[in-house]
Amino acid sequence: MPVKATRHLVTQALQRLGYALLLPVSILPMAALIFRLGQPDVLDMAILSLTGQAIFSQMPLIYAVAIAFGLSRQELGGQTLAGAVNFLLLSTAFNTLAPNLHAEMICGLLAGLTTAIIYPWVHQQKLPRGLQIAKGEFPSLLISALACLLIAIPLSLLWPPLERGLTLLTSELLTTPFGAFCYGTLNRLLIPLGLHQVLGSVIGLGESNLQALAAAKPLHEGYVAGLYPIIMFGLPGACFAIWLHRQRMQRLPQGGLLLTLALTSALLGITEPIEFLFAFTAPWLFLAHALLTGLSLAVCSGLGIKVGSYFSAGLLDLVLSYQYGERSFWLIPVGILFFVAYTLLFYQLLERAPLSMPSKPIAKEHPRLANVAPSDPQMLAIQYLKVLGGMDNLQAMSVCLTRLSLRVRDISLVDQSRLLGLGCLSWIELNDHQLVLVLGPSASLIEGQIRMLAERQSVPLGLKPNQESASESSW
């Protein structure tokens, strides 16, 4: 297989894994909020604390189920159940062969991956005539379960040194300013590919992070404190710089849009709408953002600031994590400095190479302001379908927090000039068939309305926009 094709296959597989990991990761803030509300200094309700603790304690099982479902190419009803069963088999077998190790999370990851690969493959095989009575999902469940039991043997031999290596990495190397800088920079650079979830999950296998997860405490507290100044202050500073530059260039400043993006980042920690705004159209800005993120992590590491996060380092996460941190207050002055740094640096970079946000000069744009997007969700979905070339042009669709990933038959039928008028924050054309729309908080609502319209018209919509054909293998 050519190197380019192999690289594309591996990248596509990792992207799908990152998407599958997003679901269990997104459960963490809900569990953290429930757990925090039940504490004695808040509502003092043991039932809430125990409920939140239960979710944290079952995260390996949730990972196994989410990966088995998220990586499936076919809608096989038993595959999700198989992921749960196979995790229980693998973790029990491993703990019998190698007790007293922190391997629950790796068992969840491996059980989900094994199920996603083997289950659909067995389901597609033709059984010998004598075994036709066992056809259905039973053979897939049985063989994937046997595979997980077999994996327990090499895993019990390989995991002890791997666990020691991950513990060294997360407790010694990443807690240094240089290690924190490398982690922060790489974490941001992987966001356009959707692989930052894979990096975070691998790093999370360290012993200290697994113990924090078991105790319902924030993860990565030794080296991710620097994300708070970037997400709560730096990216809003970037939005402010873009607004100032557009004012000076006599273009519509789009203040409402930029304010929404800034608040989404600062309050909830959802940064993708801002980052996707310039990740593909202004890579020099994205590179500066990645380096500044690494610098922030290095500074916070050097100052001894230790504040972990459950999901993404926004204000909500800071409120939940503040009591567990060390020198948490210093995040505020450091954040103010990064707000100033982002504003000045981004403004200077925009002066040399302006950001290509779709817009015309103010004088020409005002007559178009009357063409606002419909407020009714169903009408808005219909407008998006028209822009995308109609229902017949849409093949597959998936939603990821603020982004809508689409696969279309003919990209030339998509009227990209009208996307901005419908409230689309930004969009990226990945290839001749794939398109990513950054819609903000309305992404899930629009996706649900389009699927409802597709069901009414009996049009099948796939769940995997990066899937080229149903005949391809699972990976």
**Ranges 18-22, 128-132, 411-415, most confident:** 411-415
Query: Is the pLDDT reported for residue 400 higher than 90?
Result: no
Give me the chain's average pLDDT, please: 81
Same domain, 243 and 138: no
| pTM of the model as a whole | 0.76
Same domain, 138 and 189: no
Query: Is the pLDDT reported for residue 278 higher than 90?
Result: no
Span 95-149, pLDDT tens digits = 999 988 888 899 999 999 999 888 888 877 776 655 555 556 778 888 899 999 9
Question: 344: how many CB neighbours lie within 10 A of its CB?
Answer: 12
Residues acting as catalytic residues: 400
Range of the domain at 237: 175-362
Range 14-37 average pLDDT: 80
Same domain, 354 and 405: no
Q: Quick one: pLDDT at residue 75?
A: 56
Dist. CA 473–CA 72, nearest whole Å = 10
| Between 461 and 180, the higher pLDDT residue | 180
Range 11-32 average pLDDT: 76
Least confident of 36-40, 66-70, 133-137, 157-161: 133-137
Query: Is the pLDDT reported for residue 157 higher than 90?
Result: yes
Q: Quick one: pLDDT at residue 358?
A: 46
Query: Is the pLDDT reported for residue 448 higher than 80?
Result: yes
284, 252, 192, 213: CA torsion to nearest 10: 110
Q: Quick one: pLDDT at residue 7?
A: 65
Give the CA radius of gyration of the chain.
24
Same domain, 353 and 209: yes
* Residue 465 covered by a domain: no
Same domain, 138 and 227: no
Same domain, 258 and 274: yes
Percent of the chain with pLDDT over 70: 83
Same domain, 351 and 384: no
The two most distant CA atoms of the chain are separated, in Å, by 78
Range 14-25 average pLDDT: 75
Query: Is the pLDDT reported for residue 408 higher than 70?
Result: yes
* Residue 120 covered by a domain: yes
Q: Quick one: pLDDT at residue 138?
A: 78
**Ranges 177-181, 365-369, 379-383, 390-394, most confident:** 177-181
Question: Residues 56, 213: contact at Cβ < 8 Å?
Answer: yes
Number of domains forming the structure of the chain = 3
Contacts of residues 149-155 at CB distance under 8 Å and 24 or more positions apart, as own/partner, are: 149/89, 149/90, 149/93, 151/90, 151/110, 151/114, 152/90, 152/93, 152/94, 152/97, 153/97, 155/90, 155/94, 155/98, 155/103, 155/106, 155/107, 155/110
Dist. CA 120–CA 214, nearest whole Å = 32
* Residue 472 covered by a domain: no
Query: Is the pLDDT reported for residue 471 higher than 50?
Result: no
Least confident of 14-18, 89-93, 166-170: 14-18
Same domain, 324 and 399: no
Q: Quick one: pLDDT at residue 127?
A: 64
Dist. CA 166–CA 81, nearest whole Å = 30
